[in-house]
Structure 1
Amino acid sequence: MIIGIVVLSTVLPKGNSSKTKDYSLYTVKAQADDIFKGSVIAKTSTDYRDDAALGELSQVNVSDGQEVKAGDVLLTYTKPTDDLSSQEFAIKGAENDLANAQADLAEAEKKDVKLRNDFNKSKDDSERQAINAQIETNHESWKAAQRAITTSVLARDQAKAALDGQKAKQTATVTAKTDGFVIMGNKSETSPLLSVVSRDTLVNGKVSEYDYDKLKVNDVVTVETIDLAKKITGKITYISPVPEKASSETAASQYAFKVNLDEHLQNGYTVQIHKKNETLYIPKSAVKNGKVYLKNGKKFDRVAVETKETTSGLQVISGLKIGDKLIKEASDYVDTP
């Protein structure tokens, strides 16, 4: 009887074998970042071309590399207007009339002083009456000279205003629309005379049609310079709905997107844009009847997972997180009652 008990104990399976057996485990890992190419560009860049409608370009008021503020004069144009000589002649005529009227006034004032002195010295009534009549006549001349002065001043000021207005029409200026630095171009039909480029920069990225759905507006990304010397964060602010013109019929469509940077990067840098890949994958063999065996201390818990088969493997929709350890071959696991 003792011998039989020993034999049976070696043949029958033990109920807790699934808890003690060593299984090959799979650790849920983070995927490598999605990486896109990009370049640092100015946030704003405004071109200023030669505008014949404003007249003939007479002066470029800025130099290459100069920093300007919005409203600063960049270009000055001159265009022909009506002959200015008529207005200049009118000014001279009014000034001449003014000088004559002032001379007449001075003469009338001088004569009035003399007549009044004569009147005071005279003892003869008839002579005094004659002098008084001359005083009244001279007073009318004095008033006429005053009126002539007023008229001449008004005519002169009007002629000057008309001349200033005509001169103003001869010049037109173009001012900067934004703050920035001046980049000089050349006077041609295809190139601007100059551009004003902002100090602030952003990243212009490219994404292919195969990865287009991986990006969303407001996604946080990391921008890294090619030399790995600088790495800063940013946020996607725009994704073009229209592809750029393909270089060939067989080339994949490319879409532009923009990243606002949390720090400044030098205009012109070539960069890599890293988008964290939060997609999780597990081996197909790790799933048994819609569940996986998740390591929990010294035992395994059966956990329901939602998955989807993709070309890259079995994608986890829900139920697992990075760092979880599960039995790689779920079929090897023997469930215990």
Structure 2
Amino acid sequence: MKHKKNLFIVIGFLVVVVCLAFYFKNHKDISHDSKSNGYNIYTIKNETAISLESKSSPKSVKTYNNNSHVGTFQSPAVDDGQKVKQGDRLLSYDTNNSKRQQLANKVDQAQQQVNDDYQKINQSPNNNQLQSKLTQDQSSLNEAQQQLSQHDKQMNDSIYASFDGKVNIKNGEDASDGQPVLQLISDNPQIKSTVTEFDVDKIKEGDKVDVTVNSNGKKGKGKILKIDELPTSYEDSTSGTQASAGGQSEEGEDSTSASQASNPTVNNPSGGKEGDISKYNVIIGDLDIPVRSGFSVDAKIPLKTKKLPNNVLTKDNDVFVLDKHNKVHKRDIKIDRSNGQIIVKKGLKTGDKVIKNPKGNLNDGEKVEVSS
């Protein structure tokens, strides 16, 4: 009898365990179904940055040649690798000061002649010969001033640094007339790369750029200095045109044709080969880290463009924005559609969460279940 009673107790216990297991399984399925019926969300984010690969190069490189018109070249006035400022002396010449003095005297004489002409005209204002002489003397004065200015410009251009930079000695004091003595390499490194026609309208001059030097991992900032208006294919086509024009002038074209060839106009230029993707040169500068010329760099241009999937829009092109309390708020936004993509123009910011596939009966301010 006692054995039979224990059997009933065991059976009863098993029944309770089975019931509890069934209850928890059923409750879990209900919770899962409830969760699976919740809304999926999409988080607003900026479009992926444009990635560019290129090599750094200086903004400017100027070669200083041995120029016998300046004087007798003596030696470089700087050392190899030396950093200089604009206006610093780079080359030493035994200059022919008498030549400049002659040009300056010529200016003084021409100026004195013009002054004398004015005095005579004041005494005889109706004398046409004096007026004609004044015109000629003024022309002579202008010519003398230009000669002196050109001489000084040539002196400055051949002796002094045109910009801040670093010296790279070439032939040094062994340079013959016309040979390079040294190069001046500007302190401002730049990155020249290209973007495709699909990205060029996403960027503008002044946009910030993140730069990484591949060899040493250094990171810095820069900005876009220039975006070419014409594609690189146009440069290729015009270089061929100019070469052709140059060849024609060598064959003996008259001076008028040669003059026109020096400033060519291309009518109806080609946009490139059919089916090719156009590329545009971009120059990145104002780097806040030193980059040696020729170093490989990666550049990323962050974009502020925000895209939307089509399934977050209502039939009126509105969206439901989810707040931290899981309540939705219907929001009117402005969008553009381009190449099958939906671009946010106004009404949403980075980090906003919007409901995917909102139901037609979803109301503003309603609390919703969220599955992701």
1:214 corresponds to which residue?
A: 202
1:313 corresponds to which residue?
A: 341
Give deviations 1:224-268, integer Å, cap 9, x for gaps.
Answer: 222571211223344444555645754634324232023333333
1:15 corresponds to which residue?
A: none
- Specify whether residues 306 and 46 from structure 1 end up closer, same or farther in structure 2 by C-alpha distance, changes over 3 A only: same
Q: Kindly indicate whether the alpha-carbon contact (under 8 Å) linking 1:246 and 1:253 is maintained by their aligned counterparts in 2.
A: no
| Alpha-carbon distance between aligned partners in 2 of 1:301 and 1:49, rounded to the nearest angstrom | 72
> Does the alignment pair 1:271 with 2:259?
no
Greater Rg by CA? 1
- Specify whether residues 188 and 299 from structure 1 end up closer, same or farther in structure 2 by C-alpha distance, changes over 3 A only: farther
Pairing of 1:107-122 with structure 2 (within 5 A): none
Give deviations 1:100-130, integer Å, cap 9, x for gaps.
Answer: xxxxxxxxxxxxxxxxxxxxxxxxxxxxxxx
* Correspondent of 1:231 among 219, 225, 243: 219
Give deviations 1:150-171, integer Å, cap 9, x for gaps.
Answer: xxxxxxxxxxxxxxxxxxxxxx
2:46 corresponds to which residue?
A: 30
Q: Kindly indicate whether the alpha-carbon contact (under 8 Å) linking 1:243 and 1:256 is maintained by their aligned counterparts in 2.
A: no
| Alpha-carbon distance between aligned partners in 2 of 1:191 and 1:312, rounded to the nearest angstrom | 59
**Secondary structure class of the residue paired with 1:261:** coil
**Secondary structure class of the residue paired with 2:351:** coil
1:292 corresponds to which residue?
A: 319
| Alpha-carbon distance between aligned partners in 2 of 1:21 and 1:262, rounded to the nearest angstrom | 52
Structure with bigger strand share is 1
Tell me the TM-score normalized by structure 1: 0.56
Pairing of 1:127-276 with structure 2 (within 5 A): 174-186=159-171, 192-198=180-186, 200-208=187-195, 210=197, 211-227=199-215, 229-241=217-229, 246=235, 249-250=272-273, 252-276=278-302
Q: Kindly indicate whether the alpha-carbon contact (under 8 Å) linking 1:202 and 1:259 is maintained by their aligned counterparts in 2.
A: yes
- Report the AA paired with residue 353 of structure 2: K
- Report the AA paired with residue 81 of structure 2: G
- Report the AA paired with residue 70 of structure 2: L
1:46 corresponds to which residue?
A: 62
- Specify whether residues 328 and 208 from structure 1 end up closer, same or farther in structure 2 by C-alpha distance, changes over 3 A only: same
Shift of 1:35: 2.0
Give deviations 1:158-186, integer Å, cap 9, x for gaps.
Answer: xxxxxxxxxxxxxx882333443221335
- Report the AA paired with residue 294 of structure 1: V
Q: Kindly indicate whether the alpha-carbon contact (under 8 Å) linking 1:36 and 1:207 is maintained by their aligned counterparts in 2.
A: yes
Q: Kindly indicate whether the alpha-carbon contact (under 8 Å) linking 1:209 and 1:255 is maintained by their aligned counterparts in 2.
A: no
| Alpha-carbon distance between aligned partners in 1 of 2:308 and 2:176, rounded to the nearest angstrom | 61
| Alpha-carbon distance between aligned partners in 2 of 1:206 and 1:306, rounded to the nearest angstrom | 33
- Specify whether residues 256 and 294 from structure 1 end up closer, same or farther in structure 2 by C-alpha distance, changes over 3 A only: closer
2:246 corresponds to which residue?
A: none
Q: Kindly indicate whether the alpha-carbon contact (under 8 Å) linking 2:88 and 2:160 is maintained by their aligned counterparts in 1.
A: yes
| Alpha-carbon distance between aligned partners in 2 of 1:177 and 1:214, rounded to the nearest angstrom | 36
1:157 corresponds to which residue?
A: none
Identity %: 25
Shift of 1:317: 1.4
Give deviations 1:168-215, integer Å, cap 9, x for gaps.
Answer: xxxx882333443221335599974321123x3332332335133333
> Does the alignment pair 1:304 with 2:304?
no
More deviation in 221-230 or 66-75?
66-75
1:11 corresponds to which residue?
A: none
| Alpha-carbon distance between aligned partners in 2 of 1:189 and 1:315, rounded to the nearest angstrom | 62
**Secondary structure class of the residue paired with 1:193:** strand
Shift of 1:73: 4.1
Q: Kindly indicate whether the alpha-carbon contact (under 8 Å) linking 1:201 and 1:266 is maintained by their aligned counterparts in 2.
A: no
- Specify whether residues 243 and 184 from structure 1 end up closer, same or farther in structure 2 by C-alpha distance, changes over 3 A only: farther
Shift of 1:312: 5.7
Shift of 1:318: 1.5
Unaligned 5+ segments in structure 2 are: 1-35, 100-154, 238-271, 365-372
- Specify whether residues 195 and 48 from structure 1 end up closer, same or farther in structure 2 by C-alpha distance, changes over 3 A only: same
Unaligned 5+ segments in structure 1 are: 1-19, 83-171
Q: Kindly indicate whether the alpha-carbon contact (under 8 Å) linking 1:239 and 1:256 is maintained by their aligned counterparts in 2.
A: yes
| Alpha-carbon distance between aligned partners in 2 of 1:318 and 1:190, rounded to the nearest angstrom | 62
- Report the AA paired with residue 255 of structure 1: N
- Report the AA paired with residue 308 of structure 1: D
Give the paired residue count: 229
> Does the alignment pair 1:335 with 2:322?
no
- Specify whether residues 282 and 184 from structure 1 end up closer, same or farther in structure 2 by C-alpha distance, changes over 3 A only: same
| Alpha-carbon distance between aligned partners in 1 of 2:42 and 2:84, rounded to the nearest angstrom | 61
**Aligned-CA RMSD value:** 3.8
**Secondary structure class of the residue paired with 2:69:** helix
Tell me the TM-score normalized by structure 2: 0.51
Give deviations 1:58-85, integer Å, cap 9, x for gaps.
Answer: 5444453344453324143577x99xxx
